[in-house]
Amino acid sequence: MHTDSALAVDMRGMLSPQASARTVTAAEVMALAPKLGELVPRLEHWRRAEPYSFFTLPFATDAAAIRQRGRDLARRFRQTIVFGIGGSSLGGEMLACILGDAAHPVQFYDNVDPTTLARLEHVDWNDTLLLVISKSGNTAETLSQLLTVLPAIERNTDAAGLRERILVITENRDGALGRIARDLGLEILPHPPVGGRYSVLSIVGLLPAAIAGVDIEAVLNGARRMAERCLVSDPDQNPAFRHGAIQYLHALHGRTQSVQMIYADRLRKLVDWFRQLWAESLGKHDASGEARGLTPVSAVGVTDQHSQMQLYLDGPDDKQFTLIIDPDLRAQGARMDARFAHLPEVAPLAGHTTGELFHAEFEATRTTLERQRRPVRRLSLAARDPAAIGEYIMLMELETIVVAHLFGIDPFDQPAVEEGKILAREYLAK
């Protein structure tokens, strides 16, 4: 278990001391060292922005400027609404929901369900900031969100007020969003040249987080610390290499469903962000035409122990598990009344706190999975620790790159998604 950081990872449940038909051993991981070593020069180039990439962000993002802008906006407006979809929304929402405070609420609209968007009819745009994010500038859903509320905002303010209340983040200034912004005189903030699902450590994720009161410098410090640990070629010393290789080897054994089970309600948004990263980066064909990928599955402890655990333990052995817990919860919670300790069902609970029960449920799940020879790892991070969240973000991004490299696929494109976007526009045209 690595404990020299804010994020502690225990991989022992993913490895077997002896090789057999469906086990993964440390020797098999080390056998991949030459292949993994090919990534080190690429990471070093990316760190220097050659070319600019997600790995550049922890070292190049101007956190102080973003923090100051976020504070200024939080002082000027009572609330913020973010329009975006996928990577334009999930990263900022994850940071704001986990680490933000209630002093300045930030709401994220990441869909075009009309019943949800109907809530916007009751927004007081006089004291609301609207942040519109689209990397391409042509995202149909984001454009539709903006165009549905624009008349209401214009009815409540003049051109100068409009410029104060709407900010745009896009990479493509010549896209539709950029052209609309220029026509309205809106400020355009530059989206970095990285894919949306890798953009959380840029202004895309950090500005909403800063508005919500998140310590974004600490998030970046954690991400930087993890990035530096992952610049060595030895899988024993490089957590991304080791973890990614182990998951890849389990996938070769048919365990192509990756379950992330969260034991901390506050951390639920971690899995929403991870799900897009994992699915959109890894679900594609390799050079030989074979379909690759690991399906991300979200689960909540202890709730899903009563709905999914039967499948996990007694169903097909096609899953690998990551259990994520906030260790601070063990010392929290009210103590249970012991008056009914004479009841056999109550006796084990009497006198314990809900935090102690929560932690016991977590340990029981981990142990049961291991006994059933299901590959399981444990991630431990304090939900209120921004450095730990930063480490988690960077580790998941790098694990994604490692698995993609071993599969021989490009983790940065999403060719299959484009067809659906084209068809949606064609259906509207009809």
In order, the DSSP letters of 157-177 are S-HHHHHHHEEEEES-TTSHH
Q: Is the pLDDT of residue 324 over 80?
A: yes
Residues ≥6 apart with Cβ < 8 Å to 267: 98, 324, 326, 381, 383
Residue 308 phi/psi, 5-degree rounding, is: -115, -20
CATH class of the 8-42+230-415 domain in this structure: alpha beta
Task: Compute the average pLDDT of residues 241-252.
Answer: 98
pLDDT-derived band at 2, boundaries 50, 70, 90: very low
Q: Which of 171, 280, 397, 399 is catalytic?
A: 280
Q: Per the residue annotation, which of 122, 306, 342, 430 is the catalytic one?
A: 306
Domain boundaries, the chain: 8-42+230-415, 62-214
Tell me the pLDDT band of 3, cut-offs 50, 70 and 90: very low
Q: Please indicate whether the domains covering 8-42+230-415 and 62-214 agree at the CATH topology level.
A: yes
pLDDT digits (tens, 9 = 90+) for 156-169: 899 899 999 999 99
Residue 243 falls in the annotated catalytic set: no
User: What value does the mean pLDDT of the chain take?
Assistant: 95
23-52 pLDDT per residue, tens: 999 999 999 999 999 999 999 999 999 999
Q: Would you call 387 exposed, middle or buried from its count of C-beta atoms within 10 A (0-12, 13-18, 19+)?
A: buried
What pLDDT does residue 193 have? 96
Active site residue 280: yes
> Sign of torsion, CA 96 47 231 13?
positive
Query: Which residue of the set 45, 285, 352, 421 is catalytic?
Result: 421
pLDDT band at 417 (very low <50, low <70, confident <90, very high): confident
Share of the chain above pLDDT 70, in %: 99
* Distance, CA of 129 to CA of 57 (rounded, Å): 26
Q: Residue 115 carries which DSSP code?
A: H
Architecture of domain 62-214: 3-Layer(aba) Sandwich (3.40)
pLDDT at 1 over 70: no
**3-state secondary structure string, 376-396?**
EEEEECCCCCHHHHHHHHHHH
pLDDT in tens, 251-309: 999 999 999 999 999 999 999 999 999 999 999 999 999 999 999 999 999 999 999 99
Query: Quick check: is 306 catalytic?
Result: yes
